[in-house]
Chains A and B, each alone.
Chain A
């Protein structure tokens, strides 16, 4: 399970660098559901803001971070429902 998690996180990292932002949300949601609690999505959300945002933008350039926290808790909640 740990090996799958690491591989998935590397894939998500690749998505952050090379794919459109909506792909990051979709893959992040999948990861948050499969590997809940998926802490890595929060770190990668912050990375998105560092790579593409700036403090002068909306939400002080922390939109990715805020969305990743929502994805994290959505994953935890979805996992509880499925169980």
Chain B
């Protein structure tokens, strides 16, 4: 007697294809259905922050170890250069603090007292790792952070806003991300313009041809008067109705290790 085995391995509905369909379906559900995504994100981040912390500690330990093998003379020169730079920056900060004090006193005398609450957060993942040009920090809902909070660096340089919040971490979308647009005010005459992100802290904007803008002029956000960058290039062609200005953040965006998140603006 012959028994014919119904071998459906070559059919479309075999176990492998069913497993693939289930995997794709489950992943799509977890990503596209917002409540599911929030729950999964919360769970993943309970582990992820620990994993990144372990990686950071390992890198620091390796760097400490590797220092022993670096050329001593080079280290001495580097130390001297960094000390000089630190002294220069400290003087600039002191000058800026004095200026900020004067502005605050002036505003108080005019009856316009402004202030904000800021949360300092360490950068856990920088934008180079993310395919979305996002930054992950180690402060979240427990510190009072909510969606849309603005993120600044070095006191007043705005770099982005919060786009996702977990209990103990948040994701920041950089304003300079390629394709992102932002309304800004350019120069001492506050010329309104739309800044287009070009990545790595760089922006591009167009202003009317007769606008009085120059290299070195500051660009600020429309809300909060926070500094977005300074103009580095002005491209003007008399035949065109606009000038193109290129500006960038006044610091190296790849070397940001901590940021401030404005959680409450009192005005």
Q: Which A residues lie at the B interface, using CB under 8 A?
A: 17-21, 37, 39, 42-43, 45-58, 60-65, 69
Q: Is the CB of A42 within 8 A of B55?
A: no
List the 6 closest A-B pairs by CB distance, nearest first. A52-B130, A21-B131, A54-B164, A46-B27, A54-B163, A62-B31
Beta-carbon nearest neighbor of B127 in chain A: A52
Complex CA gap A19/B171 in Å reads 18
Partner among A18, A49, A52 whose Cβ is within 8 Å of the Cβ of B31: A49
Could you list 13 further interchain pairs (A-B, Cβ under 8 angstroms) beyond the known A53-B130, A55-B164, A58-B132?
Answer: A17-B52, A18-B129, A39-B23, A42-B27, A46-B30, A51-B44, A52-B125, A53-B131, A54-B134, A54-B171, A57-B163, A60-B31, A65-B27
Q: Is the CB of B20 within 8 A of A37?
A: yes
Complex CA gap A64/B30 in Å reads 13
25 A-B interface contacts by CB (under 8 A):
A17-B51, A18-B55, A19-B129, A20-B128, A20-B129, A21-B129, A46-B27, A48-B131, A50-B30, A50-B37, A51-B48, A52-B129, A52-B131, A53-B131, A54-B132, A54-B134, A55-B34, A55-B37, A56-B164, A57-B134, A61-B31, A61-B37, A62-B32, A65-B28, A65-B31
Number of B residues, CB within 8 Å of A: 32
Most chain A C-beta atoms within 10 Å of own C-beta, residue among B20, B27, B179: B27
Beta-carbon nearest neighbor of A37 in chain B: B16
Q: Which residues of B contact A58 (CB under 8 A)?
A: 132, 179
Complex CA gap A37/B28 in Å reads 19
Asked whether any CB of chain A lies closer than 8 Å to the CB of B118, the reply is no
Q: How far is the CB of B16 from chain A (nearest CB, A)?
A: 6
Q: Which residues of B contact A17 (CB under 8 A)?
A: 48, 51-52, 55
Q: Is the CB of B134 within 8 A of A53?
A: yes
Complex CA gap A63/B32 in Å reads 11
Interface mask (B1-45 → A, CB under 8 Å = 1, otherwise 0)? 000000000000000100110011001101110100100110010
Beta-carbon nearest neighbor of A68 in chain B: B27
Asked whether any CB of chain A lies closer than 8 Å to the CB of B206, the reply is no
Q: How far is the CB of B183 from chain A (nearest CB, A)?
A: 18
